[in-house]
Amino acid sequence: MGNSSIILLSLVDPRLQTPMYFFLDNLSLLDLSLTCITVPQLLANLCTPEKTISAWGCITQAYLFHWTGCTECALLAMMAIDRYVAICRPLQYTLIMRAWVCVQMAAASWSSGLANSLIQATLTLQLPLCGHHTLDHFFCEVPLLIKLACGDTTANELALAIGAILFVLFAPLTVLISYTFIARAVLKLPSAEGRHKALSTCSSHFLVVTMFFGPSMYMYLQPPANSTQAKFMSFFYSVITPVLNPLIYTLRNKDVKTALKRILQSQHGM
């Protein structure tokens, strides 16, 4: 089941129209966008002898990639906060996670990612490029574009470092703090069934967070020593993780599987 299927399921099934699935819809849209930004150019490079991209095409790709990537970092942190409220404040969940609050949290994720991407793209456009413009990568990414510059890149590197701290360090730290409180709350539950239900609610999100932030932190907080490592890390969090996310959520989520069965049965009945 792809990301688009999760979005459609949430739209047609009222049982999935909750804060948790609202954030999951946003995550699915981001994952779908990430693959659409990177995979077409990757396939074009594999299928055609001329492995080129225009300068503006490269900047546009880097801009869109950083927008969706940074937004996903922020959104995963918001989803961890949602899980914290659900597990640690269950009686106040509907009061705290109102529809307007969820919209504001999602909007903050998208707008913060957009702001960071605009800064990165603007600074990258001002870089003087000289010599051959060979990018040893399968898509345009800001850290690699900075390496092609022959002028002063101090401002670019500073902006990239600040963005990495906010999105690749602070966001997973928020997730870690949320899950620390969640773990403490789960251990206090009296029944094993209650603990299992609480853990199953959070396990999919935690696995997705690990798969996304692990390679991202390695790429942006400690740049790989060679291009092979950089390409592998980028490929993992920009292609592999977005493709696996819907599979992880559907295989470990009874609500999504039940909704899919209901739709298939209704279609079969017609």
Establish if 270 belongs to a structural domain. Answer: no
Residue range 149-167, pLDDT digits in tens? 888 888 998 999 999 999 9
Structure-model confidence comparison of residues 256 and 102, the more confident one: 102
Q: What share of the chain has pLDDT > 90, as a percent? A: 36
Answer yes or no: is pLDDT of 49 > 60.
Answer: yes
- Tell me the CATH number at 229: 1.20.1070.10
Establish if 75 belongs to a structural domain. Answer: yes
Establish if 268 belongs to a structural domain. Answer: no
Would you say how long the chain is, in residues?
270
Q: Which two tokens stand for residue 249?
A: 């959520």
Establish if 16 belongs to a structural domain. Answer: yes
Q: Once rounded to an integer, what is the mean pLDDT over residues 32-50? A: 82
Establish if 119 belongs to a structural domain. Answer: yes
Q: Once rounded to an integer, what is the mean pLDDT over residues 42-52? A: 74
The reported pTM is: 0.89
Establish if 183 belongs to a structural domain. Answer: yes
Mean predicted lDDT score pLDDT of the chain: 85
What is the predicted pLDDT for the residue at 83? Answer: 93
Full residue range of the structural domain in which residue 206 is found: 3-263
Q: CA dist 119 to 10, 57, 178, 215, 254, Å?
A: 34, 17, 29, 23, 41
Q: Could you tell me the pLDDT band of residue 247, with boundaries at 50, 70 and 90?
A: confident
Establish if 38 belongs to a structural domain. Answer: yes
Residue 153 is classified by DSSP as: -
What is the predicted pLDDT for the residue at 270? Answer: 52
Answer yes or no: is pLDDT of 88 > 80.
Answer: yes
What is the predicted pLDDT for the residue at 249? Answer: 78
What is the predicted pLDDT for the residue at 264? Answer: 67
Structure-model confidence comparison of residues 132 and 143, the more confident one: 143
Q: Could you tell me the pLDDT band of residue 93, with boundaries at 50, 70 and 90?
A: very high
Establish if 26 belongs to a structural domain. Answer: yes
Q: Could you tell me the pLDDT band of residue 3, with boundaries at 50, 70 and 90?
A: confident
Number of domains in the chain: 1
Residues ≥6 apart with Cβ < 8 Å to 187: 195
Q: Could you tell me the pLDDT band of residue 99, with boundaries at 50, 70 and 90?
A: very high
Residue range 104-128, pLDDT digits in tens? 999 999 999 999 999 999 998 888 8
